[in-house]
Amino acid sequence: MIALPSIAFEGFSGSAKGVTSVRSYPTGYVTVAQVVRRSALSKISKAYKNLTDDQMKAWERLAEHTAGASVFGQKAKLSAHNLFVRLNTNRAYCGESILLEAAPASIVAIPAVEFTDYCISENSVMFIGVPDPEGELKLVAKMSDGQSSGVSNAWGKTVIISPDKVPDWGEIDLTDAFKAVMGHSPINGQKYFVELYWIDPETGFTGVPVQVSWICQDGSAHTGRAMAKRTTFKNSDVLDDDKNYITDMDVEFAQGSTIVTADIKYDATKHDVQEAMCHISKAAYDRAGGRFTSIMLGRSNANAGYMPHFFTMYTYPWGSDYEFKCAKRGGMWGKIGEVFGTSLTFEFVN
């Protein structure tokens, strides 16, 4: 695993006194991260003047061991002021609101992003086989919009589409992030450029960007197999009505298998039947291919002594409604509790 320090020099847009970017973002796309950086740049730059003499000396010592990329691709020395602004701006767009006044004790070595395969298709922008990094790192993803298939270099046209991804079952799904920024899905036959790097929100240091380019088409880059989002049920699928007794829902089916994982919180104090239920949208019901049945563990909350019980977890069409239920099948029932664990799906009924 490569571990090199960096400060995401290319990620800055705009300028402040003493701080100038190497690359500017294309004017057609303004991401949230870009707006945050632009608005924070001047404020952070001015804040450097308010540091104590000791704090400035600490930033100077750190800057002596930190280099950035010049416009000619050579390493360039950084001033303490420049380093202060860049690391704090990185932290700002990660959501850190408190200014880092004390310089990090040393340069932080950040690993490069690793993955086993990826896909850029009209339905999916996804990287798989991504190991969880050590520490609380977040993944920054930059992409270009579609280019002619003959274009060999469009790294200057990449913009940040997601500043805060973490691997989910070893996957980084950028499908929705790309659509939200570009306003459309990738287009078959067009070429896309992608940069990925880890960032440490605590210090602002980043890893060296990993770059790939690929022509949009069905199938992954390495195996040619189709990639798609895992089937899930989330809070956004729950319809808000008087039959909703599930307060938090996170259910996922492992892709290519019948394994299902659940993490559900329920409050059925207004419900006479020993089950946790809610209505879901038809789109969510169809997403799972119709009806399914599985067996899950559960327990009541702490006030009821964490009493264990078993549930049948299933979906069911009821007239024009679609229900998601966790019905108690054994153990002591607690009206407030949770359903959790990993199990097999025993039945799919279309």
Going by pLDDT thresholds of 50, 70 and 90, the confidence category of residue 349 is: low
| Selection from 87-96, 98-107, 264-273, 284-293 with the highest mean pLDDT | 264-273
Residues 6+ apart with CB under 8 A from 209: 6, 8, 10, 142, 195, 196, 197
Which of 13, 37, 8 shows the shortest CA–CA distance to 23? Answer: 13
Q: Which pLDDT belongs to residue 174?
A: 92
User: Taking the CB of residue 96, how many other CB atoms lie within 10 A of it?
Assistant: 15
C-alpha torsion sign, points 200, 204, 208, 210: positive
Beta carbons of 82 and 15 less than 8 angstroms apart: no
* Greatest mean pLDDT range, 29-43, 87-101, 140-154, 241-255: 140-154
User: What is the sign, positive or negative, of the torsion defined by CA atoms of 71, 77, 79, 82?
Assistant: positive
Tell me the C-alpha distance between 208 and 111, whole Å: 8
Q: How far apart are CA 68 and CA 64, in angstroms?
A: 11
Secondary structure class of 146 (helix, strand, coil) = coil
Q: Round to whole Å and give the CA distance between 4 and 347.
A: 49
Q: Which of 61, 54, 44 is nearest to 105 (CA)?
A: 61
DSSP state at residue 93: H
pLDDT tens, position by position, 278-294: 999 998 888 777 788 99
Cβ neighbours of residue 314 under 8 Å, at least 6 residues apart?
Answer: 291, 292, 293, 294, 324, 325, 327
Degrees to nearest 5, angle at CA 293 with 343 and 236: 85
- Report pLDDT for 2: 40
d(CA 346, CA 341): 15
Dump pLDDT digits (tens) for 238-248: 998 888 999 99
Quick check: 292 and 314 in contact, CB under 8 A? Answer: yes
Contact present, 75 and 68 (Cβ < 8 Å): yes
Helices 80-93 and 32-47: angle between axes, nearest 10 degrees? 140
Give residue-wise pLDDT tens across range 308-347.
999 999 999 988 999 999 999 999 888 999 999 999 887 6
